[in-house]
Amino acid sequence: MDFAFLIVLIVNIVLIGTMMFIERRKPEVIISWLVILSFVPILGFIFYIIFGSGLSVKTRRMLKRKILYEDAYENFVWEELLRLPELSENEREIASFNERACKSLPYFDNDIKVYTFGKEKIEALKADLLSAKHSINMEYYIFDDEGVGKDIMKILCDKAREGIKVKLIFDSVGSIRSKRRFFRKLKKAGGEVAEFFPPLFGIRLINLKMNYRNHRKIVVIDGHIGYVGGINIRDDHMGLKKKLSPWRDTHLRIEGNAVYGLQNAFFNDWFFCKKRHITSSELVALGYFPKMQKKGNVVTQIVCSGPESKVHYIKDSYIKMIATAKKKIVLQTPYLVPDDIFMSALKQAVKSGVDVVVMLPKKPDKKFVYLATLSFARELVECGVKIYLYNGFLHSKLLMIDDVCISVGTCNADNRSFALNFEINAFMFNKEFLKSCAKIIEEDIKNSIPIDITYFKQKPFTSKLGQTFFRMFSPLL
């Protein structure tokens, strides 16, 4: 037993060395793992293998090779860059940053519909799926095999039998409760299915990449209509479970050139899962990037981020937005577990006279993450940030500054979304569109309670202890 313990100890030292000198992780991440591996070495080693091991060099190379960028349809949209002067100076500052730093083109002339509850989004999605004539590309973190999941799967199978090209990507961890025979229905109907980071030997609990989750929710129908946002294919996202009801979320339906960005992101992941690639000209020839007609006047950028890059694109865009704000910042997130850089950006905004509002759920779905969230919320309250707790579960991932820019997508304000998950957000510019979003936020505030430092002081000792304890491991959450 002593010999085995010594072996584990030596292995743990090697793991720490690997994190420091090969993977070059952030100091706060290394310290968190050092504490775990030192105090509970055997259990810590198991946790590390499951949740902490980095992506292999081979996997990282494959992920980088899969990126198409926008050259798949450059004849359609590169001219959009010439229209940047149409934006205001503040809008152009953010849009130019996203184009240069995040490789995200600004797409003009989009019509965007905002859904704030799961039921209305699913009803619209079903109608669009039923009207599909060419192709359906769908990618979800959670695709449940019950309730709403069965309804959507039936539509997909029916369309596949009609000869429509149907492709579905589901995340192995997010959809872990769904039976795999559920997805085989689509294959039998003539569709195609891919599992992102599948487990070893087909055993769902043995997955060495489960720490890296594809958290994206993308739908592209006929290359013309796109969906992106926070709502998964699961009943609780419909508000059907009282424990987390009402479930407030934000999801977008997009028509216009920005659908190219969603399609591009989908095929990046599809080619990675299938370990094959076809040329950009072939995708265009197959009708996946059709020419668009002008649909609206919302300028939109699609920004993706993931663990294959050391640059955290969505987080960097968030920080750029926060630094650009002159009057007001509104952040909605179910989990507030950011790093020091993000926290510092919010604090600097307050010190600059910007009205900073952060909205969180009153009902938590993950208690240990919520305790860490409260710890960060208290720190922000002490700096002058206004914190609101929504009377229900707020799953919305939204950041809005002034009347300049709003971002909606899948990225939470936490280290997991910023650095470990595969995420996708839409960044939108249009004053009238932002006004309509501001009205939605005003209704959210009416359905929320403001909290101050007294709220935190009145928390029981166990809650305060939990906040301190789980914040210590926030880099790993």
- The CATH topology of domain 61-305 is Endonuclease; Chain A (3.30.870)
**Whether residue 347 lies in the annotated active site:** no
Place of tokens 């304890």: 469
Q: How far apart are CA 242 and CA 239, in angstroms?
A: 7
- The CATH topology of domain 313-415+427-476 is Endonuclease; Chain A (3.30.870)
pLDDT in tens, 323-364: 999 999 999 999 999 999 999 999 999 999 999 999 999 999
Nearest to 437 by CA among 457, 471, 408: 408
Q: Which of 249, 395, 403, 444 is catalytic?
A: 395
pLDDT in tens, 120-162: 999 999 999 999 999 999 999 999 999 999 999 999 999 999 9
Q: How far apart are CA 444 and CA 465, in angstroms?
A: 30
Q: Which of 215, 251, 315, 320 is catalytic?
A: 215
**Whether residue 251 lies in the annotated active site:** no
**Whether residue 365 lies in the annotated active site:** no
The residues, ordered by sequence, that sit 6+ positions from 357 with a Cβ below 8 Å of its Cβ are 328, 329, 330, 331, 385, 386, 388, 445
The residues, ordered by sequence, that sit 6+ positions from 382 with a Cβ below 8 Å of its Cβ are 453
For the chain, domain boundaries: 2-53, 61-305, 313-415+427-476
Question: What integer pLDDT is reported at residue 72 of this predicted model?
Answer: 47
Phi-psi region of 355 (alpha: psi -120 to 50; beta: other; left: phi over 0): beta
Per-residue DSSP letters for 356-409?
EEEEEESS-SSHHHHHHHHHHHHHHHHHT-EEEEESSEE---EEEETTTEEEEE
299 within 8 A of 91, measured Cβ to Cβ: yes
Question: What integer pLDDT is reported at residue 70 of this predicted model?
Answer: 39
DSSP for residue 422: B
pTM summary value: 0.90
**Whether residue 395 lies in the annotated active site:** yes
Question: What integer pLDDT is reported at residue 463 of this predicted model?
Answer: 84
Q: Which of 222, 236, 403, 414 is catalytic?
A: 222
Question: What integer pLDDT is reported at residue 363 of this predicted model?
Answer: 94
63 within 8 A of 55, measured Cβ to Cβ: yes
**Whether residue 215 lies in the annotated active site:** yes
How do the pLDDT tens digits run along the chain, 477 residues long?
566 666 766 766 666 666 565 556 666 666 666 666 666 666 766 666 666 565 555 565 556 555 554 344 455 566 777 788 899 999 999 999 999 998 898 999 999 999 999 999 999 999 999 999 999 999 999 999 999 999 999 999 999 999 999 999 999 999 999 999 999 999 999 999 999 988 765 666 666 667 789 999 999 999 999 999 999 999 999 987 778 899 999 999 999 999 999 999 999 999 989 988 777 778 888 999 998 888 899 999 999 999 888 889 999 999 999 999 999 999 999 999 999 999 999 999 999 999 999 999 999 998 989 999 999 999 999 999 999 999 999 999 999 999 999 999 999 999 999 988 999 999 999 999 999 999 999 999 999 999 999 999 998 888 878 787 777 766 655
Q: Which of 66, 167, 217, 312 is catalytic?
A: 217
Place of tokens 């090969």: 22
203 class by beta-carbon count within 10 Å (0-12 exposed, 13-18 middle, 19+ buried): exposed
Q: How far apart are CA 71 and CA 60, in angstroms?
A: 22
**313-415+427-476 shares the fold of 61-305:** yes
464 within 8 A of 377, measured Cβ to Cβ: no
Q: How far apart are CA 106 and CA 261, in angstroms?
A: 10
Q: Which of 128, 249, 269, 402 is catalytic?
A: 402
